[in-house]
Amino acid sequence: MTKIAQVIVDVPTMQTDTPFTYLIPLSLAETVQTGMRVVVPFGGGNRKVQGFVLQVLEKTEEELTALGQLKTISEVMDLSPVLNGELLDLAEMMKQTTFSFKITCLQTMLPRVMRADYEKWLVIVDEIPEDIYEQVFHCLDEIPFQEAVSSERVGELKKLKRENKLEVRYEVKARNKKKMVQGFRSLLSFEQAEEAKEDLRKTAHKQRKLLALLQQLEDKVCTLVDANKKYQVSRGVIQKGEENGWLELVEVEVKRDPYAYHTFKPSQPLVLNDEQQAACQAITTHIHQQQHKTFLLQGVTGSGKTEVYLQGIAEALKLGKTAIMLVPEIALTPQTVHRFKSRFGNQVAVLHSALSEGEKYDEWRKIEKKEAQVVVGARSAIFAPLENIGLIILDEEHETSYKQEDTPRYHARNIAIWRGKYHQCPVVLGSATPSLESRARAHKQVYQLLPLTKRANTKATLPSVNVVDMREEITKGSMQSFSETLLEKVQHRLDRKEQVVLMLNRRGYSSFVMCRDCGYVLPCPNCDISLTLHMDNLKMKCHYCGHEENIPKECPICQSHKIRYYGTGTQKVEEELQQLFPTASILRMDVDTTRRKGAHERLLKKFGERKADILLGTQMIAKGLDFPNVTLVGVLNADTALNLPDFRASEKTFQLLTQVSGRAGRGDKPGEVIIQTFNPTHYAIEYAKNQDYELFYRHEMQMRHLGNYPPYFFTVQIVASHEQEEVAARKSFELVRYLKQQLTPQAIVLGPTPKAILRIKNRYYYQLVIKYKQEPELANALRTILETSQKDYRQGLKITIDIEPNSFI
């Protein structure tokens, strides 16, 4: 019997999107297991690629010959599997539902560092002309392949390769480096150490201390850093110890712990009110009974959803089970992490984008080694390699960031429910403003609704909300960002030493440069969009392709010098605000001020300690902040999202306004919210003003029904892009024709239309949209499109399929 392995190779194409069979060499027969990463030779040149083992099988000699000529696995990259059976199955589901390659799905589930690094070298294997050896190879045996390609003598090198005098060598490099530090281990028994102590001179305190430490360690390893910090034994003393033969120096692995220098005060479960109690009960019953069910925990802001999560997780842990808690990236603040760490201590692993690649890898391994039972993280944390999951939670389930924007375009909510079914455990979707899809499913009893209607802090009442009609402010002649009403209210809070949060809707609020004489706006040379002014480095920047240029001094069209900054970035509003309230201390929070690691945390801490009066920021301040002294929240421009040509515009506006309003009056003092808008009668704003989700939901459902939008219809978006506009356009017309022919007459195929931003990075984008209720042939049609698109791809025509896209813009 011979062992063979089914391997998915790291070549993301349609034709290689299937398992390949490899022989397992005798030397690795006991090592190779399902779910491990391996290095295999692939293709004509036998270049080495990374692969994932899907299956290990044993074959007889006859069976083996029937399989034809097989290649052999070169090496294994892991000591133990990195993906278990569940995650391998999950990858298959993702591939099928997102129309992406298996390899891409597998890689998505692992920390980035576990993707291979490939290196290519050009190696001399036979005599080559002296001058090439000296000039190109610099008298070395091999050079990086890239160096050879960029050399002036590529032609000659190619010829030498054909004559087998040169060879290409491929290398697969593992990037998942463990962090190693110097440590030491005792070589003495307790008695020997005791004797050594006696031989010491009386004054040798430090060495005596070291010996005591060695006795305490027994055969454990101690790092030099720990010896210094915890036991005040310095490097020199340890070196002396080594010379004396007391200890040996060793390399030890340390886990990077991003929260090592934080202290977490343990917190106790809070007393739940009736509604929280009922919700918690429903969830824990399902944990106990090992029964899957999806719950929609709909609670007004401040209703204590988090405490329900915490107690649910505690229950899972009590049963020896594990739990995943997903939080949107921007809500994954130190405050949030703190709440979980202080309740569950170091059982918690945190996964989010602010961590370095190494830190992410270590947190991942902490989970994999079962050192952590609770995982708190953003979207990709849904793939945490936990076993025996008892509870999965998605907080702020309506957040669009739960859907990945590039392939595989999975939605964390779907993955969560899949894993919930696999582990037979409850899944809790929590939100104050659920997505229409989820709320409709709760209505149809697909999910079970758990309502929380009261604020947990009984003294805290829902804030009163006022809408200010900015059209009137304009006629009054005030050209500022602030209405008189808002200014009065801010002054009032400043007088009372209370705090204010002001939010700018980022979209449409970036600054651009316009000529006052001819109206010329500086465009990006690669994209159909205007450049944005960045004050931090005084450059004009394109938000889509990253193009940068200097701020023009004169208009390139009419040479006028009357070129001015338009629009209001947070910086400009900050200046305006400072002029109006010279004595107020203002904190600005936007991409510019939070770019540096930990800046986000520092700003919030400062505000929490009441070292500032006003917090001015973009959407990032709308979520999860809990500052009891904030009694006024102002939204400077509520409409910018409303005007987008997107069927979710109203929903997003309503959600944002409700979320940000929830930041006011979380303590004992009542809160107030001011919403400035040019559309005071729009239903999204009206219902947000009354904090009435139910009415908004009903109204919006009618709108969706009229427009044949989700949740009444399923949607698929297909985008074709090419450097030449007509190629992209022609392809999308062809796709529409094909789809109309494949689908039932009930399916609605819209388009093709040019995308809202036709050109990005010098590529033209055309899209088409399919709306449908039931289309048994759709999956097949999409798969066919994917297969045929492989050919187009070589001609530079890219086609992407997005199931249930976040927007059609």
Residues placed in the known binding site for Zn(2+): 515, 518, 524, 527, 542, 545, 555, 558
CB of 141 to DNA, least distance (A): 19
Angle at 43 between CA 790 and CA 173, to 5 degrees: 100
**Looking at beta carbons only, is 45 or 546 nearer to DNA?**
45
Q: Does 173 participate in binding DNA (rule CB under 7 A)?
A: no
CB of 13 to DNA, least distance (A): 4
CB of 44 to DNA, least distance (A): 3
Q: Does 509 participate in binding DNA (rule CB under 7 A)?
A: no
Cβ atoms of 553 and 499 closer than 8 Å: no
Q: Which stretch binds DNA (CB under 7 A): 7-15, 292-300, 332-340, 689-697?
A: 7-15
**Looking at beta carbons only, is 12 or 451 nearer to DNA?**
12
CB of 11 to DNA, least distance (A): 5
**Looking at beta carbons only, is 55 or 559 nearer to DNA?**
55
Which pair of tokens denotes residue 606?
């400062």
Q: Which stretch binds DNA (CB under 7 A): 39-47, 232-240, 280-288, 465-473?
A: 39-47
**Looking at beta carbons only, is 41 or 334 nearer to DNA?**
41
CB of 22 to DNA, least distance (A): 5
**Looking at beta carbons only, is 168 or 174 nearer to DNA?**
168
**Distance, CA of 493 to CA of 490 (rounded, Å):** 5
Cβ atoms of 267 and 345 closer than 8 Å: no
Q: Does 43 participate in binding DNA (rule CB under 7 A)?
A: yes
Give the single-character DSSP code of 523. B
Q: Which stretch binds DNA (CB under 7 A): 20-28, 56-64, 264-272, 713-721?
A: 20-28
Q: Which stretch binds DNA (CB under 7 A): 37-45, 341-349, 477-485, 506-514?
A: 37-45
Q: Does 59 participate in binding DNA (rule CB under 7 A)?
A: no
DSSP-H helix ranges across 530-677: 570-580, 599-608, 649-661
Q: Does 523 participate in binding DNA (rule CB under 7 A)?
A: no
**Distance, CA of 783 to CA of 769 (rounded, Å):** 16
**Distance, CA of 680 to CA of 87 (rounded, Å):** 49
Q: Are strands 548-550 and 539-541 parallel, antiparallel or unpaired?
A: antiparallel
Q: Does 71 participate in binding DNA (rule CB under 7 A)?
A: yes
Contacting DNA (CB under 7 A), which of 138, 202, 497, 794?
794
Residue ranges of the annotated binding site are 515, 518, 524, 527, 542, 545, 555, 558
**Distance, CA of 675 to CA of 652 (rounded, Å):** 15
484, HSE (Cβ side, Cα atoms, 13 Å): 8
Q: What is the chain's alpha carbon radius of gyration, rounded to the nearest angstrom?
A: 31
Q: Does 47 participate in binding DNA (rule CB under 7 A)?
A: yes
CB of 787 to DNA, least distance (A): 11
Residues in contact with DNA, counted by CB under 7 A, come to a total of 25
Contacting DNA (CB under 7 A), which of 1, 15, 164, 477?
15
CB of 42 to DNA, least distance (A): 6
Contacting DNA (CB under 7 A), which of 20, 121, 565, 714?
20
**Distance, CA of 492 to CA of 684 (rounded, Å):** 28
Using DSSP's 3-state secondary structure scheme, residue 174 falls into coil
CB of 10 to DNA, least distance (A): 8
Contacting DNA (CB under 7 A), which of 56, 64, 70, 124?
70
Q: Does 197 participate in binding DNA (rule CB under 7 A)?
A: no
What mask of x and - would describe binding to DNA in positions 774 to 793, judged by CB under 7 A?
-----------------x--
C-alpha 463: how far from chain center:
32
**Looking at beta carbons only, is 51 or 241 nearer to DNA?**
51
**Looking at beta carbons only, is 159 or 230 nearer to DNA?**
159
Q: Which stretch binds DNA (CB under 7 A): 65-73, 316-324, 445-453, 756-764?
A: 65-73
Dihedral, 421, 426, 431, 434 alpha carbons, nearest 10: 40
**Looking at beta carbons only, is 41 or 754 nearer to DNA?**
41
Count CB-CB contacts under 10 A for residue 245.
10
Give the single-character DSSP code of 381. G
Angle at 217 between CA 216 and CA 219, to 5 degrees: 135
Residue type, 676: Q
Q: Which stretch binds DNA (CB under 7 A): 45-53, 457-465, 546-554, 678-686?
A: 45-53
Which pair of tokens denotes residue 518?
């001819």
Contacting DNA (CB under 7 A), which of 25, 41, 567, 751?
41
Which pair of tokens denotes residue 125?
């294997």
Q: Does 64 participate in binding DNA (rule CB under 7 A)?
A: no
Cβ atoms of 349 and 384 closer than 8 Å: yes
Which residue's entry shows tokens 């009668």? Answer: 681
CB of 462 to DNA, least distance (A): 52
Contacting DNA (CB under 7 A), which of 1, 27, 30, 44?
44
**Looking at beta carbons only, is 202 or 794 nearer to DNA?**
794
Q: Does 65 participate in binding DNA (rule CB under 7 A)?
A: no
Q: Does 745 participate in binding DNA (rule CB under 7 A)?
A: no
Contacting DNA (CB under 7 A), which of 2, 21, 742, 807?
21
**Looking at beta carbons only, is 45 or 144 nearer to DNA?**
45
DSSP state letters, 390-408: EEEEEETTT-GGGB-SSSS
CB of 35 to DNA, least distance (A): 19
Cβ atoms of 381 and 324 closer than 8 Å: yes
Strands of the sheet with 322-326, listed across from one edge: 348-351, 374-377, 322-326, 389-395, 426-431, 293-299, 448-452
Cβ atoms of 452 and 307 closer than 8 Å: no
Interactions with DNA, residue window 143-162 (CB under 7 A): 155, 159
Angle at 482 between CA 480 and CA 488, to 5 degrees: 130
**Looking at beta carbons only, is 45 or 85 nearer to DNA?**
45
Q: Does 711 participate in binding DNA (rule CB under 7 A)?
A: no
**In Å, what is the CA distance from 116 to each residue of 10, 50, 236, 558?**
9, 6, 40, 53
Which residue's entry shows tokens 């997102």? Answer: 98
**Distance, CA of 40 to CA of 42 (rounded, Å):** 6
At 703, which helix (H) or strand (E)? helix 693-707
Q: Does 25 participate in binding DNA (rule CB under 7 A)?
A: no
**Distance, CA of 552 to CA of 256 (rounded, Å):** 46
DSSP state letters, 746-759: TSEEEEEEEEEEEE
**E strands present in 580-625:** 586-589, 614-617
Q: Does 125 participate in binding DNA (rule CB under 7 A)?
A: no
**Looking at beta carbons only, is 69 or 579 nearer to DNA?**
69
**Distance, CA of 6 to CA of 38 (rounded, Å):** 11
CB of 90 to DNA, least distance (A): 23
CB of 258 to DNA, least distance (A): 32
**Looking at beta carbons only, is 71 or 175 nearer to DNA?**
71
**E strands present in 15-134:** 20-23, 37-42, 47-59, 71-72, 75-76, 117-124
**Looking at beta carbons only, is 20 or 733 nearer to DNA?**
20
CB of 636 to DNA, least distance (A): 44
Contacting DNA (CB under 7 A), which of 46, 96, 146, 353?
46
**Distance, CA of 290 to CA of 417 (rounded, Å):** 14
**Looking at beta carbons only, is 76 or 221 nearer to DNA?**
76
Phi, psi of 197 (to 5 degrees): -60, -40
Contacting DNA (CB under 7 A), which of 168, 212, 354, 580?
168
Residue numbers at the binding site for DNA (CB under 7 A)? 11-13, 15-16, 19-23, 41-47, 69-71, 155, 159, 168, 791, 794
